[in-house]
Structure 1
Amino acid sequence: MKTLLPLLCILCASAVNPAFGGEALAPAGVLAHMHRVADWQLDNMPPTADKYTGDPASMPRIAKAHPTRLDWTFAAYYAGHLALAGLSPRSADYLDTFAKLGREENWRLPFRGTRYHADDHAIGQCYLEYALRAHDSAAVGPTQEFFDFLLANPPKNPDALAHDISTKSRQFLEKWSWCDALFMAPPSLARLYEYTGDIRYLDYMNDRWWHTTAYLYDKDEHLYYRDSRYFEKREANGQKVFWGRGNGWVLGGLARILQSMPAAYPDRPRYEQLFRDMCGRFLALQGADGLWRASLLDPASYPAPETSSTGFAAYAFAWGVNAGLLDRAAYWPATLKAWRGLLSHVTPEGKVGSCQPIGADPRKITEDDTDVYGPGAFLLAGAEIYKALLLEQNPHGILSVQNPTGIHRRWSTVEVSAARLRELTGTDNPADILVFDALTPLLRDTQTWQTDAGPALLFQATIPPNDTRRFILVRKPAGFQGPQPVPLAHARFAPDRHDDYIWENDRVAHRVYGPALVKKEGTDTNGIDVFVKSTPALVMDDFYKRGDYHRDHGKGYDPYAVGQSRGLGAPAFRAAGAGAPWHSPGNYATHRPIADGPIRATFELTYPPVTIPAAGAATITFTETRRFTLDAGSHFTRLDSTIAVTPVGASFEIAPALARNDWPGRKKHAPKPALADTPDTAAQPAASDENWLADWQPNKGENDATGLAVWFPADTAMKPVEGHWLLPAIPVPADAGTATWSATWYIGATWSKSWHPTLESWRQTVTDFIKTTETPLRLGTEK
């Protein structure tokens, strides 16, 4: 377990200025200030030129300064807004506010005549951060398309010409030629790497970063010129011109790219050293009141405090302390001093004043000046300070999570045993644990999970190929209220639809049929149905309420016909011996809910006994209990089947089945309890290997297709039978002492209109899933 800062240090800092009330030293006090600032800003967003409908000649000056609500000024605010959403008990409201903006704007990046303009890239980092949190892939597409163009068409102008902002050719826009750009574009590229695992985005960012740094960074002062126009300019006191907010942008950009960059990335040490050097210079330049000025080296000429540069500096300091990159004894008091200074410029309503208006160099400031990036920096700083205080006051430890494969693992479920929880935090109760990213202030959604060895904690992590990410597990303080979990997995008994049992996550949905449906329409099968989705939102309850779910109304639909078939992955049984027919039970008989999200949905169904003929006049009776488990972020449901057999020790075979698209039995409801063992070698699945198969089945009249997959971790090969493929058949030998048997397999589904446009992409996902399941994440403990 770890404790961070002695409380005495904080108490001494708080005594310096009465404006820094004692409540601000508690996480709840910091959060209250953040709520106040965010709520005021959301109620007082500046008008934008693209929404102005009046006479252009009369357009307000502030609207002219903000072309669109997607521009860089708003992006800086929403970076802080999303940091707050990762901590606040009102997280759902804050996430919904941002999602509404993104959907109304179709998740686009602004465009001002060239794709290279870094300011237009800034909102992308917010889209990607939201997508990683909410599992919303729709938020990624336009940003990824934008940067794919840049990768395919890199700037070709010579650096000296392209970086010179004083030229009238505007070629400088093709490079990051002003220091603010290092907050705008690089974090978006780093977040895109984190989302995709594609190192090309990080390499492009890395190349451009160091070109800009070689041009604008002053190695003696450890500060950046705003752009080339300031190389020869001097302040009134003869010092070089280094703009406070401009260098604040760089510090914020450094922190945000280091959050996503792998620990083993070759140039990471250079970024860390640059970060330390700049923070060291900022520390020496901090004012006695805790704030920085618009001019870093000539504060006497610009004596008014400036809150946007202070917000970014406080954010960088707090982040560096939390990340272990800055010496806590030196930087934590300075962080609190800056926070104290910031609070003295926040009105009771929540307006952050003394924020320099849009510009490129030091300017005069009034207490009334504000803009959206100022509150954004305040919220970023507050989130890191909140995290630091929570860690300081509660036992915690670090869990490392390693991805030992070359496959990007987005939204992988991490399961932490009670014993490891006790080692890290002193408690083995998962409900008493919070999980922070080590390098961000995001509190991860968690779930308590019951294993055979006792309770465990679930959370999800995105781990790039061959990377290790660290998470801080913290014992939850009494009365703690954290962010609301994003519901991404759900399962329930559905008496409102003839006793169906339904389950879904952010990628796919399924159902199986219950006893009432036999009476309603005669359908009596253990077949598994498939619903396809184009939204991460949970839709099945709404589908059932509306009733019309066999057509797509914008979120997905049920294109799959089960009929007499086993559908997707339901098992079939037969007595041992070639040529025997394959039998299955009908609709399930009883159900037992186990877990209902937000990360994992699990339930068990027991099927009615099935008696089938065996050798001679003998019979075998099977009674199956099957557990279904679906995790958020996955296309695959795990099926754990336990089969009670009489007579005890009877020899039989079990195999999961996948119904072929062309089998007439899928269009009939009358039960067909047995499938003939009559191979049709002409019919083959779209893709298969020894123990898995994937199929790509067109959906009638909708110009789309459903991707399906079954994986049975066993050694025997797939075989076709009547209307189905069985994969594979596992012979269970006679054993006089065994009355129950168990088997595990996986089923998966996707949709061509959402997650996988082609069979090839679906096949890759299937094989990646098999490899990552066979090579689990590796957990470690750091003292």
Structure 2
Amino acid sequence: MKRLFKSILFFSTLALLSSCKNKEKAIVISVKNTLNLERTFETVELSKSFLKAEDLSKTGILNTETNSLEITQTVDNDGDGVMDVILFQPKIKGNTTNTYKIVNVSEEEKPKAPELCYSRFVPERTDDYTWENNKVAFRVYGPTAQKMVEDNVPGGTLSSGVDAWLKRVEHPIINSWYKKETETDGTYHEDTGEGLDNFHVGVSRGVGGIAVKVDSTYYYSKNYTKWRTITTGPLRTSFYLEYENWDAAGNTIKESKVISLDLGQNFSKFDTSIEGGSNISAGLTLHEKDGKVSGNKTNGWVSYWQPHADSEIGTAIVAPKEYFVDFETYNVEAKDLSNAYAHLKVIDNKVVYYAGFAWQKSGQFSSKADWENYLNDFSNKINNPLEVTLVK
């Protein structure tokens, strides 16, 4: 009997210790919305250190109100093979706090979602790097395209401006458009129902390319020289670009950046590293100068709304208030050099800003007023991010 009692006591103690251990592992977080408006399609990042986790591959995020798992995506930011953060997009009403439990889940238990946030290097079209989500698409140009121009070879592009691809469908279009352009008699310059590429960049800043202003002249880099895809998935695509050092009136500028685009957003985030200058300017091409530049210094944005073929388009730069200094309309006679600029402060060799657009024909925004209301809301959100707290 004593032996049986000791066995029962031993296993009861083990069970209790196991229960305590499991309770210690249970983590609950709160996500607080301090604004009086509903927040959707805003990505929350939870790091390994914040969650006190060694491995995020089996991490799930359970909504305690709905008792359902959130769509998540893990990201290896530094390329060392270990996932650094887990992403999710909570839906939170105005002035409300939601709670979520961090749980262990198998790959089969994780909710599935289409991978609408996508980017890749495009060797079949010289060396573009292109990215998209369910709302917008963009591209930039690489060193081969630059060398073609410098060697007088047709088909090259010499520009560090950002191109806008005008899509009007939510499904991915990058691969099918390039295939149409490179493998068929069709072209992505014609709209057959999904949209088209008819946005001219040239040497302009396009939608968010940067420059450094010295006196009354703007200087900027050539094409990117290195790239690295960081992640693609249901919630975010991001990638790294590096540029050859460039000259701004005797100042050597060192530039690299991580660009990310999240589900449901019209704006790419440019997390830019800069050495050699205390300010930069992110620009928007003015094309034929038949549109209207507007801006809000308090809310930190500049916009250009213009006629575009049989529709209209709005482009914009928005920056957190600590980076945004002012905006300017720079209008000159030289082709493609007229841009609306957001002047941005470099803080600890870093600048963060958002650049994006809205094509009226996509049905997202019907007018300049709608677009500017969106810019004010977007500014309000990035300056008042969702507050994440570890409850236990």
Q: TM-score, normalised by structure 1?
A: 0.42
Note the C-alpha offset of 1:484. Answer: 2.8
Residues 407 and 772, structure 1, Cα contact 8 Å, conserved in 2: no
* CA distance in 2: counterparts of 1:637 and 1:696, whole angstroms: 18
Residues 1:654 and 2:280 aligned together: yes
Q: Are residue 599 (structure 1) and residue 225 (structure 2) matched?
A: no
Q: Pick the aligned partner of 1:534 from 165, 168, 171.
A: 168
Q: Which residue of 2 aligns with 1:726?
A: 341
CA distance in 1, matches of 2:26, 2:108: 15
Query: Is residue 2:200 matched to residue 1:561?
Result: yes
Equivalent position of 2:272 in the other structure: 641
Match of 1:503 in 2: 131
CA deviation map 1:211-249 (0-9, x unaligned): xxxxxxxxxxxxxxxxxxxxxxxxxxxxxxxxxxxxxxx
| CA displacement, residues 161-192 of structure 1 (integer Å, 9 cap, x when unaligned) | xxxxxxxxxxxxxxxxxxxxxxxxxxxxxxxx
**AA at the equivalent of 1:567:** G
Q: Kindly provide the CA deviation profile for residues 734-776 of structure 1, in whole angstroms up to 9, marking residues without a partner as x.
A: xxxxxx8322211021121321112122111111111111111
1:485 aligned partner, one-letter code: A
1:689 maps to 2:297 = yes
User: Which residue of structure 2 lines up, in the alignment, with residue 549 of structure 1?
Assistant: 188
Q: 2:92 aligns with which of 463, 466, 470?
A: 463
Shift of 1:620: 2.1
Cα deviation 1:520-563 (Å, max 9, x = unaligned) = 43420100011122222121111111122222222222231101
Q: CA deviation at 1:584?
A: 1.0
Relative to structure 1, the CA distance from residue 481 to residue 726 in structure 2 (aligned partners, 3 Å threshold; closer, same or farther) is: same
Residue in structure 2 matched with residue 286 of structure 1 by the alignment: none
| Corresponding residue SS for 2:90 | strand
CA drift at 1:585: 1.4
Q: C-alpha distance in 1, partners of 2:110/2:315?
A: 38
Q: 1:689 to 1:559 in 2, by over 3 A?
A: farther
1:448–1:457 CA contact under 8 A, matched in 2: yes
Q: In the alignment, does 2:47 pair up with 1:411? A: no
SS of the residue 1:431 aligns to: coil
Q: CA deviation at 1:407?
A: 2.3
- Residue among 437, 449, 454 paired with 2:75: 449
The structure 2 residue matched to 1:473, chosen from 60, 82, 102, is 102
Asked if 1:490 is matched to 2:118, the reply is: yes
The residue identity in structure 1 corresponding to 2:207 is L
Residue 411 of structure 1: SS of its match in structure 2?
coil
Greater strand percent: which structure?
Answer: 2
Residues 319 and 379 in structure 2, CA contact (< 8 A), matched pair in contact too = no
Please say if residues 77 and 230 of structure 2, whose CA atoms lie closer than 8 Å, have aligned partners that are also in contact.
Answer: no
Per-residue deviation, 1:656? 0.8
C-alpha distance after superposition, 1:255-295 (max 9, x if no partner): xxxxxxxxxxxxxxxxxxxxxxxxxxxxxxxxxxxxxxxxx
Deviation at 1:632, TM superposition (A): 1.1
Q: Distance in 1 between matches of 2:213 and 2:110?
A: 52
Equivalent residue in structure 1 for 2:257, among 626, 651, 662: 626
Q: Distance in 2 between matches of 1:526 and 1:538?
A: 24
CA distance in structure 2 between the partners assigned to 1:482 and 1:688 by the alignment? 42
Superposition pairs of residues 686-725 of structure 1, within 5 angstroms: 686-689=294-297, 691-700=300-309, 702=310, 704-713=311-320, 714-721=323-330, 722=332, 723-725=338-340
Q: Deviation at 1:778?
A: 1.6
Distance 1:522 1:625, change over 3 A: same
| Structural mapping, 1:13-28, within 5 Å | none
Say if 1:586 and 1:480 are closer, same or farther in 2 by CA, change over 3 A.
same
Contact 2:302 2:341 in 1 (8 A): no
Written as runs of structure 1 = structure 2, the 5 A alignment for 1:134-173 is none
Secondary structure of 2:376's aligned partner: helix
Once the two structures are superposed, residues 392-442 of structure 1 have per-residue CA deviations (whole angstroms, 9 ceiling, x without a partner) of: 99x6443322211012211221212324423xxxx4422111123323354
Aligned to 2:353: 745
Q: Secondary structure at the match of 1:637?
A: strand
Aligned with 2:51: secondary structure? helix
**CA shift in 2, pair 1:758/1:468, >3 Å:** same
C-alpha distance in 1, partners of 2:245/2:389? 45
State how far apart, in whole Å, the 1-side matches of 2:344 and 2:88 are. Answer: 35
* Structure 1 residue 582: Cα displacement: 0.8
SS state at 2:280 partner: strand
Matches within 5 A, 1:50-61: none
Local SS of the residue matching 2:112 = coil
Hey, which of these two has a bigger chunk of helix by percent? 1
- Please give the secondary structure, in 2, of the residue aligned with 1:517: helix
Letter in 2 for 1:630: L
CA distance in 1 between partners of 2:177 and 2:98 (Å): 38
Question: Identical aligned pairs, as a percentage?
Answer: 28
- Larger radius of gyration between Structure 1 and Structure 2: 1
- 1:523 maps to which residue? 157
- The one-letter code matched in structure 2 to 1:758 is S
1:774 aligns with 2:383: yes
* Per-residue CA distance 1:680-736 (angstroms, 9 max, x = gap): xx9850444353112222221x2x22221102343532122231111115489xxxx
SS in 2 for 1:771: helix
Q: Which amino acid aligns with 1:611?
A: D
Contact 2:291 2:306 in 1 (8 A): no
1:311-330 matches, cutoff 5 A: none
Distance 1:689 1:449, change over 3 A: same
CA contact (8 A) 1:573 1:652 kept: no
Q: Are the equivalent residues in 1 in contact too, given 2:71–2:110 (CA < 8 A)?
A: no
Q: How many angstroms apart in 2 are the aligned matches of 1:521 and 1:486?
A: 34
In structure 2, list runs of 5 or more residues that go unmatched: 1-21, 149-153, 182-186, 333-337
Residues 257, 271 of structure 2: 8 Å contact kept: yes
AA partner of residue 312 (structure 2): A
SS of residue in 2 equivalent to 1:546: helix
CA RMSD in angstroms comes to 2.7
Q: Tell me how far apart the structure 2 counterparts of residues 534 and 480 of structure 1 sit (CA, whole Å).
A: 33
- AA aligned opposite 1:470: T
| CA 653–421 in structure 1, closer or farther in 2 if over 3 Å, else same | closer
Contact kept in structure 2, 1:659 and 1:724, CA below 8 Å: yes
1:138 aligned partner: none
Please tell me whether the aligned partners of residues 655 and 729 of structure 1 are also in contact (alpha carbons under 8 angstroms).
yes
1:15-56 Cα distance to aligned partner (Å, 9 max, x none)? xxxxxxxxxxxxxxxxxxxxxxxxxxxxxxxxxxxxxxxxxx
Distance 1:762 1:729 in 2: 22
The answer to whether the 8 A contact 1:591-1:606 is kept is yes
Paired residue type of 1:414: V
- How many residues were matched structurally? 346
1:643 deviates by 2.4
TM-score by length of structure 2 reads 0.80
Kindly indicate whether residue 32 of structure 2 is the aligned counterpart of residue 402 of structure 1. yes
Distance 1:421 1:652, change over 3 A: closer
Conserved? CA contact 1:436–1:442, under 8 Å: yes
> Are the structure 2 counterparts of residues 436 and 657 from structure 1 closer, same or farther at C-alpha, using a change threshold of 3 Å?
same
Structure 2: distance between partners of 1:455 and 1:487? 20
CA contact (8 A) 2:236 2:260 kept: yes
